[in-house]
Amino acid sequence: MRKREGNKEKAILDASVKIFAQHGYHRAKISSIAEQAGIATGSVYLYFKNKETILLTIFDRLWIGLTDNLRNIVKQTDIDPSTKLDLVIDQFFDIFITDPSLASIFVNEQHHLIKDRRGNVAKHYNDFLDLAEEIIREGVQKKVFNPDLDIKLFRHFITGGLRSVLLLWSQQSHSLPLQRVRQNVKFFIKHGLL
């Protein structure tokens, strides 16, 4: 395989996001990805072994980027845990507001990749969630968040809820703006019903 470089690799990844979102990962064809990227079909294989490698690369880059940003948020000592939590939620939603096709892939494919332990997706995802837990622990310790909170249970409840809300949004994006979803998610996470 060729050394990954520049615009063609990015074009392939960007095209793949669009094609996977439109047709679903399993029905997507490498030839459609190549056409969308404006390159020859054979050129895709110079950069990626197969369609699965493309999908894993998309998720690796997504979670590595989110985790790096989260790591910077966690390290900040000049902001309180509640503000840190807002920043985490914002960075998560900003990605999907910017790229709705990526949200569609996230909703439809991430669960399978994690469940089947394909690639490093589960590791990157858990690294992200472990860092997010640090913010919750800090908030509990500083009495910003409820001290009776079961952090592990909260982690699973929130991640399941976010996936479900993104699924609903991806099916009804015209009537359910992601900005509105973001604000409600922040409220639910930080204030609950009481």
How far is residue 182 CA from its own chain's centroid?
A: 14
- The structure's pTM equals 0.87
Q: Are residues 45 and 58 in the same domain?
A: no
pLDDT tens-digit series, residues 61-94:
999 999 999 999 999 999 999 999 999 999 989 9
Average pLDDT over residues 173-177: 79
Please report where in the chains the tokens 């509105």 appear, as a residue: 180
Lookup: tokens for 60: 């690796």
Question: Domain range holding 1?
Answer: 1-49
Q: Are residues 16 and 99 in the same domain?
A: no
Q: Examine the pLDDT at 2 and tell me if it is beyond 70.
A: no
pLDDT tens-digit series, residues 123-157:
999 999 999 999 999 999 999 998 898 998 888 88
Lookup: tokens for 125: 């995802």
Which pLDDT value is given to residue 162? 86
Q: Are residues 16 and 81 in the same domain?
A: no
Distances (CA, A) of 174 to 95, 102, 119: 18, 17, 34
49, 66, 82 — which closes off a domain?
49
Note the helical H segments in the chain: 6-23, 30-37, 41-47, 51-75, 81-98, 100-115, 121-141, 151-171, 178-191
Which pLDDT value is given to residue 194? 52
Which pLDDT value is given to residue 173? 72
Which pLDDT value is given to residue 90? 93
Average pLDDT over residues 13-39: 96
Q: Are residues 34 and 127 in the same domain?
A: no
Q: Are residues 30 and 88 in the same domain?
A: no
- What is the rounded (10 degree) CA torsion for 1, 18, 30, 2? -10
